[in-house]
């Protein structure tokens, strides 16, 4: 729910600056990011960042294991071969293995981070098996089994399979469940969930559900429980951070430590409430089992961390949005019964990221909105951030890539995107995160769990529609956020083009759209096309054998966004599973094969990698006469070295957990 993924739409025409891109392989590029103003933080805040950053790196193994139970075994085998191989390193098999290893690091496992499909190795099984023997590679499973897991395409084919009609638990290779069927999982949690609790815990969030000897039970992620060895290190650094933090952050960190020790989800709620109330501290963080995108049932959370501090100059934009939160809520084009009578604690800020960890590394969100528990959001508000230094790095890396020339038909659209692209993307993110997710309320009797496997995509749809609708409102000019509605036009044209077309460049031919944000963009765009069909609001145009999508009437499109928001809010507020399912299945999943093929070909010709990830900066304590006098930041530009370093210094879990 809380993370907004980056829509990669490079629209600038300035010359390339290769220095921002540190590596390229397959469908991914790796970018470095800078941490402006770090050197101007006071020493205790620099130390706080340092300790929280160390903590962020300590959970890396957890995510690998959560993504797939053999990921750590495979990563270690690959790294051992990679670092101790004495043969010809220009040989095709070695080169292909290096690429595969880069992909495994990028995805935190052997399944693609976005499509969830298992990677196809381009080195031979025989060569790999030989290396396992020659280098005496240690493995908790036999070499034969290890090869089978990597090379047999039908084994553990998808990390996350949410296809209709399959047992989505058994069809998914993710490691949140073992030995249980979807029906057993649903029965287990239906029995556990207290529907009358006004403050329900996030059921199942921090555990693996297993069946052993006929008994179904949770293995809780906590110190003394599952993933203990890594969590002890996470907590070790959190304690250091706690020791230099000031209130209220100090208390918040203490509550997180308490939760890591108890594994009690009531403690997690207490931490979240303390965290969300703290809008003052300059340094802030995410650290824990947070987002549930990786679980087919959307209950269990992957481990992640982000360390950040305020970007004071850019915070002005989100301050204005927050100040007007109630106005936006009151004028939302939804059933008045589903508006929040009082919007509480909508805080928003622009941050500078100092460290990414777990499920935020190397691929990362550009916005964060947490916590995810509906009742906490309602009672205590939510915290929203946009990440400016990451967005900046993305833009830098995308400059001059030819994308706009290839896919945008009309000059006027291209010019608006060029002039207002960054501002309109930033504002879209702000509105989505600061207001969209926090808006609206449930009808009495609705728990928020009704939408099942469609909940993530529908929630992102709701937040995006809120943003799109208001970006085109005169109010935005009135409060000084945009100079003219051309900013909205830039966003509308690029959003529709992305949703109906260019985002398919990130999906393999023949595959469906699975990822929640991609589904949401496709749903909004294709549904809007359908709603405006009679009046030709959005139109397909063919020119020189290429297809383009154009928006003919921006005012009518905005009205359509309002109609859509009304219906999506109704679905969420009433928990109308069938209506939500029908919309997603009709508009968000299937791609027209001919169009898909065309997009892939045109995109490929541009040589743009559809996915971006990052290398982290490094921090070093500066000591003088036994005292820490400073923390220095540096920007390593070597993707391979960073991962080998992390695997050497921040790997605490056994291969099988």
Q: Of the two residues 460 and 567, which places its CB atom closer to Zn ion in the complex?
A: 460
Q: How far is the CB of 369 from Zn ion (least distance, A)?
A: 6
Q: Of the two residues 71 and 382, which places its CB atom closer to Zn ion in the complex?
A: 382
Residue (of 395, 424, 549) closest to 486 by Cα position: 424
Residues 6+ apart with CB under 8 A from 310: 282, 284, 349, 350, 351, 352
Residues 6+ apart with CB under 8 A from 639: 22, 23, 30, 102, 105, 362, 615
Longest dimension (CA), the chain: 77
- As to burial, measured by CB atoms within 10 angstroms (0-12 exposed, 13-18 middle, 19+ buried), residue 478 is exposed
Q: How far is the CB of 25 from Zn ion (least distance, A)?
A: 28
Chain position carrying tokens 């993707």: 639
Q: Of the two residues 48 and 463, which places its CB atom closer to Zn ion in the complex?
A: 463
Phi and psi for 444 in degrees, rounded to 5?
-55, 135
Q: Of the two residues 355 and 467, which places its CB atom closer to Zn ion in the complex?
A: 467
Q: How far is the CB of 461 from Zn ion (least distance, A)?
A: 10
Q: Of the two residues 463 and 496, which places its CB atom closer to Zn ion in the complex?
A: 463
Phi and psi for 124 in degrees, rounded to 5?
-85, 150
Q: How far is the CB of 460 from Zn ion (least distance, A)?
A: 5
Q: How far is the CB of 432 from Zn ion (least distance, A)?
A: 6
Q: Of the two residues 295 and 413, which places its CB atom closer to Zn ion in the complex?
A: 295
Q: How far is the CB of 456 from Zn ion (least distance, A)?
A: 9
Between CA 162 and CA 165, with CA 164 as vertex, the angle to 5 degrees is 115
Structure tokens at 535: 């009046």
Q: Of the two residues 7 and 150, which places its CB atom closer to Zn ion in the complex?
A: 7
Candidate ranges 225-233, 314-322, 407-415, 458-466; the one touching Zn ion (CB under 5 A): 458-466
Parallel, antiparallel or unpaired: strands 367-370 and 383-387: antiparallel
Number of residues that bind Zn ion (CB under 5 A): 3
Q: Which helix (H) or strand (E) holds 505?
A: none
Q: How far is the CB of 446 from Zn ion (least distance, A)?
A: 20
Q: Of the two residues 209 and 370, which places its CB atom closer to Zn ion in the complex?
A: 370
Candidate ranges 278-286, 456-464, 473-481, 607-615; the one touching Zn ion (CB under 5 A): 456-464
CA distance 502 to 546: 13
Q: Of the two residues 385 and 398, which places its CB atom closer to Zn ion in the complex?
A: 385
Q: What is the DSSP letter of 119?
A: P
Q: How far is the CB of 573 from Zn ion (least distance, A)?
A: 18
Q: Do the Cβ atoms of 82 and 97 come closer than 8 Å?
A: yes
Beta sheet of 207-212, edge-to-edge order: 177-178, 207-212, 215-220
Under rule CB under 5 A, residue 387 binds Zn ion: no
Candidate ranges 73-81, 116-124, 223-231, 454-462; the one touching Zn ion (CB under 5 A): 454-462
Q: What is the DSSP letter of 226?
A: B
Q: How far is the CB of 466 from Zn ion (least distance, A)?
A: 10
3-state SS class at 22 = strand
Structure tokens at 625: 């006469």
Q: By 3-state DSSP, what share of the chain in percent is helix, strand and coil, each rounded to 5? A: 50, 15, 35
Q: Of the two residues 79 and 460, which places its CB atom closer to Zn ion in the complex?
A: 460
Among 354, 463, 481, 518, binds Zn ion (CB under 5 A): 463
Structure tokens at 489: 């036009």
Q: How far is the CB of 4 from Zn ion (least distance, A)?
A: 5
Q: Of the two residues 460 and 473, which places its CB atom closer to Zn ion in the complex?
A: 460
Q: Which residues pair with 369 in a beta bridge?
A: 384
Q: How far is the CB of 436 from Zn ion (least distance, A)?
A: 7
Provide the phi-psi class of 194: left if phi over 0, else alpha when psi is between -120 and 50, else beta.
beta
Task: Provide the sign of the torsion angle of the four alpha carbons 100, 101, 105, 110, taken in this order.
Answer: positive
Q: How far is the CB of 377 from Zn ion (least distance, A)?
A: 13
Q: Of the two residues 81 and 276, which places its CB atom closer to Zn ion in the complex?
A: 276
CA distance 494 to 548: 12
Q: In Å, how far are 38, 241, 310, 383, 431 from 280, measured between CA atoms?
A: 18, 17, 10, 12, 21
Candidate ranges 241-249, 417-425, 460-468, 633-641; the one touching Zn ion (CB under 5 A): 460-468
* Interaction residues for Zn ion, span 2-61 (CB under 5 A): 4
Q: How far is the CB of 437 from Zn ion (least distance, A)?
A: 6
- As to burial, measured by CB atoms within 10 angstroms (0-12 exposed, 13-18 middle, 19+ buried), residue 444 is exposed
Q: How far is the CB of 307 from Zn ion (least distance, A)?
A: 21
3-state SS class at 58 = coil
CA distance 363 to 509: 23
Q: Of the two residues 206 and 386, which places its CB atom closer to Zn ion in the complex?
A: 386
Q: Of the two residues 4 and 557, which places its CB atom closer to Zn ion in the complex?
A: 4
The residues binding Zn ion (CB under 5 A) are 4, 460, 463
């Amino acid at each position: 729910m809380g993370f907004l993924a980056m829509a990669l739409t490079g629209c600038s025409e300035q010359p390339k600056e290769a220095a921002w891109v540190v590596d390229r392989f397959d469908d991914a590029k790796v970018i470095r990011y800078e941490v402006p103003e770090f050197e101007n933080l006071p020493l205790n805040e620099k130390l706080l960042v340092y300790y929280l950053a160390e903590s962020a790196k300590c959970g890396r193994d957890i995510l690998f294991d959560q993504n797939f139970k053999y990921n750590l075994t495979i990563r270690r085998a690959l790294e051992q071969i990679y670092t101790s191989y004495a043969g010809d390193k220009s040989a095709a098999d070695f080169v292909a293995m290096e690429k595969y290893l880069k992909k495994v690091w990028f995805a935190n496992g052997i399944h693609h981070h976005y499509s969830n499909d298992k990677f196809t190795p381009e080195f031979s099984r025989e060569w790999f098996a030989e290396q396992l023997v020659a280098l005496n590679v240690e493995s908790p499973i036999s070499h034969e089994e290890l090869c089978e897991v990597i090379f047999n395409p039908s084994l553990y084919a998808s990390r996350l399979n949410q296809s209709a009609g399959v047992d989505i638990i058994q069809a998914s290779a993710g490691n949140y469940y073992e030995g249980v069927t979807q029906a057993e999982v649903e029965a287990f949690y239906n029995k556990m969930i207290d529907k009358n609790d006004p403050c329900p815990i996030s059921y199942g969030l921090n555990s693996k559900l297993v069946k052993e000897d006929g008994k179904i039970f949770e293995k809780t992620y906590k110190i003394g429980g599952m993933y203990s060895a890594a969590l002890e290190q996470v907590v070790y650094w959190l304690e250091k951070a706690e020791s230099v933090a000031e209130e209220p952050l100090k208390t918040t960190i203490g509550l997180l430590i308490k939760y890591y020790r108890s594994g009690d989800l009531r403690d997690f709620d207490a931490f979240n409430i303390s965290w969300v109330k703290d809008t003052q501290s300059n340094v802030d963080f995410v650290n824990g089992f947070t987002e549930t995108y990786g679980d087919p049932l959307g209950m269990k959370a992957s481990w992640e961390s982000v360390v950040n501090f305020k970007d004071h100059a850019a915070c002005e934009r989100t301050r204005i949005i927050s100040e007007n939160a109630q106005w936006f809520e009151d004028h939302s084009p939804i059933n008045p019964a589903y508006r929040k009578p009082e919007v509480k604690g909508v805080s928003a800020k622009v941050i500078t990221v100092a460290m990414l960890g777990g499920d935020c590394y190397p691929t990362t969100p550009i916005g964060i909105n947490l916590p995810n528990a509906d009742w906490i959001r309602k009672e205590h508000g939510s915290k929203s951030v946009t990440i400016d230094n990451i967005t900046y790095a993305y833009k830098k890396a995308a400059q001059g890539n030819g994308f706009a020339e290839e896919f945008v038909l009309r000059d006027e659209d291209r010019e608006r995107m060029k002039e207002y692209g960054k501002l309109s993307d930033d504002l879209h993110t702000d509105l989505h995160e600061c207001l969209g997710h926090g808006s609206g309320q449930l009808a009495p009797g609705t728990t928020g769990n009704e939408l099942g496997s469609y909940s993530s995509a529908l929630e992102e749809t709701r937040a995006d529609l809120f943003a799109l609708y208001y970006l085109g409102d005169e109010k935005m000019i009135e409060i000084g956020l945009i100079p003219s509605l051309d900013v909205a036009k830039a966003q509308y044209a690029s959003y529709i083009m992305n949703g109906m077309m260019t985002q398919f460049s990130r999906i393999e031919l023949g595959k469906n759209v699975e990822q929640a944000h991609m589904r949401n963009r496709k749903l909004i765009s294709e549904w809007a096309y359908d709603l405006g069909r009679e009046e030709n609001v959005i139109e397909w145009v063919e020119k020189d054998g290429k297809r383009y999508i154009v928006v003919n009437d921006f005012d009518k499109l905005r009205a359509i966004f309002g109609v859509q928001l009304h219906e999506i809010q109704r679905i969420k507020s009433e928990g109308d599973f069938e209506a939500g399912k029908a919309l997603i299945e009709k508009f968000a999943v299937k791609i027209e094969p001919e169009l898909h093929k065309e997009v892939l070909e045109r995109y490929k010709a541009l040589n743009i990698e559809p996915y971006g990830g990052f290398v982290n900066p490094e921090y070093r304590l500066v000591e003088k006469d036994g005292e820490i006098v400073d923390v220095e930041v540096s920007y390593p530009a070597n993707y391979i070295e960073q991962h080998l370093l992390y695997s050497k210094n921040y790997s605490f879990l056994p291969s099988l957990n």
